[in-house]
Chain A
């Protein structure tokens, strides 16, 4: 917690964003597979470099605006612009939240929680989400931080247990096995970085030096995902392409004597991470409504409506699989790039409008 502001610091947020990002790496959408090979490393690193490249202009624009959040900077001078940005970001956040619910449901029901009916899943996760949102963003980030610590412990345990099965000779010197598919893979990987937008939208909730958040989140997520890719490649080798959920399979083959396998704990962590991720999107939505539509206390109620709507949408995608295919296409088409760029464009436009106003004021 930051002493002056009473808010959780940038590193705490970055750790929770990283957990959220790794969740979307682990709880893959059905039909999405991780390819075996060294190209995977290249795709992950390039996608995070791309994420950093996209965020740099926004970071500079924010710094130029005297430390105001990107959302405030984009919406402070023109109601039309503010409304437009708010509407587009709302749609995007709703989409991301629904996608999170869908990922969590597919992951849980295809793995250790296969006995839990769909309705139970959405009712219980909905209850957890509403409770989390009611306790506020600081409580959510603190709980998420503990979940992140739990994940790191699990990763360390899995690594220690599987140490004899790690075969480094399965790695080979190559940057791209199939250059034709590399671009698509990078874009798909980058599309999972919705947290980049959260760094910008939740800017005002971060204590201390907010600008540091994205610069901790990007290398942290990249390092962990690269390490996980290393484990996948060296443990599974060519079998990797056949697995739906490689991390779940890693935990399934980890026998710690006391428990035959620890995949139950793995799913427990990812269900918690899903609840945290959904809550973060809800907080981001509340912030958007509050800033772009000048909603005061109504923003809190809107947040609950948003959370319920996101879960209903997830349930809809679950019930109607024909809706799912277009969604998967959108999910891997670089939408975060568009959302962050939209915010950047809005900040730039707002800056231009402000400068015009100032010039007019000087003339008169």
Chain B
């Protein structure tokens, strides 16, 4: 039955190559920790992806309770944290996941760098990877404001002042992010929410797709 269904779709869409691209390949010995324990350094990229998936899922659940306005944002987070069943765990996963994903992406970057794996022909994949790093930082920065507690508010104020110090376009950047050249307030919160939940994840998914397509196209770099 399943085979018939697969054949029916395959006949029309030719999906077997997609399957090949995703899963049907050999894992070389030098990246397999089962053969060389030191190959665990190759796990960092996969773990980054794993934590990213945790972030996406826990974030989706957080938005079920979170209210992005200055009157209710804090109260909704506090409610989630103290009243909702398992809310503390979901928020905890998102909070600590943000740190763990930065650690993992950092280790992954170091592994690729010190192995010189960004050399021809993999230059573009490195560039996309560094852009992913920037997007992660952006997600961390914008997500920080959302609980609307003192820590969030004042750290964001500092961050926006840093953005403002950029020559020529500084004030424009700040206005774009905060919704106002001076005030950090209601507009800022909704903008950060939009950036954190829509703009940056969109960029993240696009870049991640490019990252993975390239690694499958080029294969993993050989042993040193």
Are A and B bound to each other? no
